[in-house]
Structure 1
């Protein structure tokens, strides 16, 4: 009996892992209905009879993002929130613009793996594994591709003197983004400084100073 129960638990866990991604669609499309007041794990479908070609269309990704901020970068996302036809398709993308020495700071996508393609410039990129942390980095040139596994902290830094541009493909219609510094030091309400002082092993005055800063959002 014990071995049977163990085998059943393993099977359930394996099945859960296999489906740990956006669910597959059960129809040709399920265009997001952004007018509904119904809440569920995803977005309610628009009546297929009301779907138009524009529901599958987004324009403007050729335009550079405004990188005049403290980070020197701008992410222009194309996901289910602005391209409704992506609903249930399990994919989205983003354009990332970098000023010279601009940074897309350490962040995670809790629901997606990211594949980054560099179109212009030179980037230093990397990600850190879960505990024990190990850093993987690479310098990218035009045409290079790098993968950031789902949920892991990653970053991109323009190490060139010219602007850089990249396109990121993500394996979710709504990947989400958690920017580490913003989340830890810029949350509202703020995380107790005793917690952060002990976690980072610094004086509370350092934490208080960091929490008092304006944390730039580049998404």
Structure 2
């Protein structure tokens, strides 16, 4: 009887890893059909996506590590940038025309990270124009928050 319970326990322990992962995506891409009259849980997908559906100009992208270090880059059409799982990140259109981004998230459990300290006390700092646009506040407010969250020396 003890052998049965031991075997049962081992099988159950091995199965735990199979149920704790994120589910697979249901589709690879979905280009929204903005002209469709059907709007259940958002827009429906276009029947045939084409290369013209994926356009971009110039994007400033970046992410912040858990040690508040900013890594950023300007990317152009056709380039790719990968954000590490669970970190605070941003994308800002730096061009003169609308830009489109393909984004995919690989986890529903991003972990925890102090957003205020991460964004306003990063080294090098997150550009003020990104923070003013993201939080809809002025440069004075951004500088005030940065001064209060600056690391003690």
TM-score class, shorter-chain normalisation, is: 0.3 to 0.5
Q: Which structure features the higher share of helix residues?
A: 2
Q: Which structure features the higher share of strand residues?
A: 1
Give TM-score scaled by structure 1 length.
0.29
Q: Larger relative contact order (C-alpha < 8 A, sep ≥ 6)?
A: 1
